[in-house]
Amino acid sequence: MTSPVLVLLSGFLCHVAIAGQTCPQPDDVPFSTVTPLKTSYDPGEQIVYFCKPGYLSQGGMRRLTCPFTGIWPLNTLKCTPRVCPFAGILDNGAVRYTTFEYPNTISFACNSGYYLNGTNSAQCTEEGKWSPELPVCAPITCPPPPVPKFATLRIYKPSARNNSLYRDRAVFKCLPHHAMFGNDTIACTAHGNWTELPECREVKCPFPSRPENGFVNYPAKQVLLYKDKATYGCHDTYNLDGPEEVECTKLGNWSAQPSCKASCKLSVKKATVLYQGERVKLQERFKNGMLHGDKVSFFCKNKEKKCSYTEEAQCVDGTIEIPKCFKEHSSLAFWKTDAWDIMPC
Ligand SMILES: *[C@@H]1O[C@H](CO)[C@@H](O)[C@H](O)[C@H]1NC(C)=O
Ligand SMILES: *[C@@H]1O[C@H](CO)[C@@H](O)[C@H](O)[C@H]1NC(C)=O
Ligand SMILES: *[C@@H]1O[C@H](CO)[C@@H](O)[C@H](O)[C@H]1NC(C)=O
Ligand SMILES: *[C@@H]1O[C@H](CO)[C@@H](O)[C@H](O)[C@H]1NC(C)=O
Ligand SMILES: *[C@@H]1O[C@H](CO)[C@@H](O)[C@H](O)[C@H]1NC(C)=O
């Protein structure tokens, strides 16, 4: 009853069972190692899979025996990376990460005004812990500011107990007669120190000299200092070129050096002129002469076109040049028209 095929087949199987087939090098399981690792194994030989450090077994066979068939059984072992504690949030800062698994590294940065107390990156270790420990973002503070010599604090308020926070400001003022060099305002920097301090220096000015045809008044003191003032005046018929009051500047000189300038006597008896945009009678408006700096415009006649135009004249320290084109209207020639009376060109 036995078929010849069956006989053949059983004969083959007997041969395999007796001699056995060798197993090849076993398949790689991700993140695992095999011991012993060889290129071939005899039937009955055992191998063990271990998850590599930092990886955990998620079930499946770990220990396999090479069967007589020479074919390793299907390995269901799974090794997965350890996961470190969640670290995706950093107060007053930010975390850069892809995952929190071994062996990844995450990095940290703080918002402005905060500094990293700790390292700027951490790695998830084989043990599933962050190394080094996670940092914190701590507020940047500056100690109370130093006060420069000859200065006082005008504005300062500690905002973090006795310290100041990043970008806080303090403002200095110099003692009287001392001038500020540099910025009066300092700020708490990201380095936890203050920006450069200003300097206060005593500044002296020379005694102002009396102007010709005038006088100057100043405080009766041994020395004149920053912000001291002097006032100028002129004698009769002279007037001041410059401000009445000057001040000792931080550069050690006076803000201006006024002088006294003579007024102008008028050689013209009768003329209508433009003065500050208005027509005025020269002899009436400037009865007492013109002051230094005064400007008027005389009317002249264009004979060809029978029209009038103006030319300017200014009193400069006692002298005024009457425009050549201006012809004083003679009182005898009363029938002639004055230049200012005719059409402008
Ligand atoms: C910085 O961190 C260490 C450790 O966490 C802590 O002891 C220290 O007080 C911190 N320093 C500041 C200024 O926050
Ligand atoms: C602030 O300064 C005062 C006076 O210097 C001191 O007595 C106090 O202990 C300081 N406070 C803190 C929180 O440092
Ligand atoms: C003075 O310093 C403050 C704060 O650092 C800054 O904002 C300001 O622009 C500075 N002023 C000048 C004139 O440099
Ligand atoms: C503040 O500290 C930084 C860093 O230490 C330094 O480069 C800078 O010169 C300091 N600034 C001042 C005004 O001292
Ligand atoms: C004051 O002195 C400075 C520097 O010597 C100069 O540049 C400035 O023009 C002087 N000011 C006056 C009003 O003379």
Q: What contacts 301, CB < 8 A, 6 or more positions away? A: 307, 308, 325, 327, 339, 342
The arithmetic mean of pLDDT across residues 105-118, rounded, is: 96
Question: What percent of the chain is predicted at pLDDT more than 90?
Answer: 80
The residue that leads in pLDDT, 322 or 339, is 322
Lowest mean pLDDT among 107-116, 177-186, 264-273: 264-273
For residue 189, which atom of ligand 4 is closest to its CA? 1
The fold of 204-262 is Complement Module; domain 1 (2.10.70)
What pLDDT does 75 receive?
Answer: 84
Mean pLDDT of 182-191: 96
pLDDT at residue 171 in the model: 98
61 pLDDT band, cuts 50/70/90, is confident
Regarding the beta carbon of 117 and ligand 1, being less than 6 Å apart is answered yes
pTM, 2 dp: 0.67
Q: 158 CB under 6 A from ligand 2?
A: no
**What per-residue confidence (pLDDT) applies to 14?**
44
For 15, the token pair is: 């041969």
Residues 236-276: tens digit of each pLDDT: 889 999 999 999 999 999 999 999 999 999 888 888 999 99
Q: What mean pLDDT comes out for the span 212-216?
A: 96
Task: Report the chain's mean pLDDT, rounded to a whole number.
Answer: 91
DSSP for 247-271?
Answer: EB-TTSSBS---EEEE-B----SS-
Q: How far apart are CA 84 and CA 66, in angstroms?
A: 37
Mind listing the pLDDT tens digit for each residue in 41-52?
999 999 999 999
| Cβ neighbours of residue 327 closer than 8 Å, sequence gap 6 or more | 300, 301, 339
Task: Give the model confidence (pLDDT) of 134-162 as tens digits.
Answer: 999 999 999 999 999 999 999 999 999 99
10 Å CB burial of residue 157 (0-12, 13-18, 19+) is: exposed
Which residue type sits at 78? K
Better-predicted residue by pLDDT, 61 or 204:
204
- End-to-end CA distance of the chain: give it in Å, rounded: 147
* pLDDT of 7 strictly over 60: no
Q: Residue 13 class from Cβ within 10 Å (0-12 exposed, 13-18 middle, 19+ buried)? A: exposed
Q: What is the pLDDT of residue 53?
A: 96
Q: Which ligand is nearest to the CA of 162?
A: 2
* CB contact at 8 A, 219 and 225: no
143-199: which CATH topology?
Complement Module; domain 1 (2.10.70)
Identical fold, 21-81 and 93-139: yes
Looking at residue 331, its pLDDT comes to: 57
CB 165 within 8 A of CB 115: no
For residues 51 and 31, the answer to whether their CB atoms sit within 8 Å is yes
Query: Phi first, then psi: what are they for 315, rounded to 5°?
Result: -80, 115
Comparison of pLDDT for 333 and 285, the residue scoring more: 285
pLDDT at 211: 96
Domain residue spans of the chain: 21-81, 93-139, 143-199, 204-262, 272-341
Please choose from 157, 159, 162 the residue to mutate so as to test ligand 2's pocket, defined by most ligand atoms within 8 A of CB: 162
The reply to whether CATH 2.10.70.10 applies to domain 272-341 is yes
Query: CA angle, corner 32, sides to 29 and 36, nearest 5?
Result: 95
Strands 278-281 and 272-275: antiparallel
pLDDT, position 16: 45
Closest ligand 3 atom, residue 169 Cα: 4
Exposure string over 178-213, b if 16+ CB within 10 A, otherwise e = bbbeeebebebeeeeebbebbbbbebebeebeebee
User: Which of 12-21, 72-81, 115-124, 327-336 ranks highest by mean pLDDT?
Assistant: 115-124
Cα–ligand 2 centroid distance for 161 (angstroms): 8
What's CA 73's distance to the chain center, in Å?
A: 69
Instruction: Provide the 10 A C-beta neighbour count for residue 232.
Output: 24
Give nearest CA residue, ligand 4 atom 1: 193
Please tell me the CATH superfamily of domain 21-81, with its number.
Complement Module, domain 1 (2.10.70.10)
- Superfamily of chain region 93-139: Complement Module, domain 1 (2.10.70.10)
Instruction: Read off the pLDDT band of 19 (50, 70, 90).
Output: low
Q: What pLDDT, in 10s, does the model give residues 203-213? A: 999 999 999 99
Which pLDDT score, from 0 to 100, does residue 267 have? Answer: 86
Q: Which of 150, 251, 249 is nearest to 200 (CA)?
A: 150
Do 204 and 184 contact (CB within 8 A), yes or no?
A: no
Return the percentage of the chain with pLDDT > 70, whole number.
92
Query: Hey, what are 124's tokens?
Result: 């998830």
Tell how far the Cα of 162 is from the centroid of ligand 2, in angstroms.
6
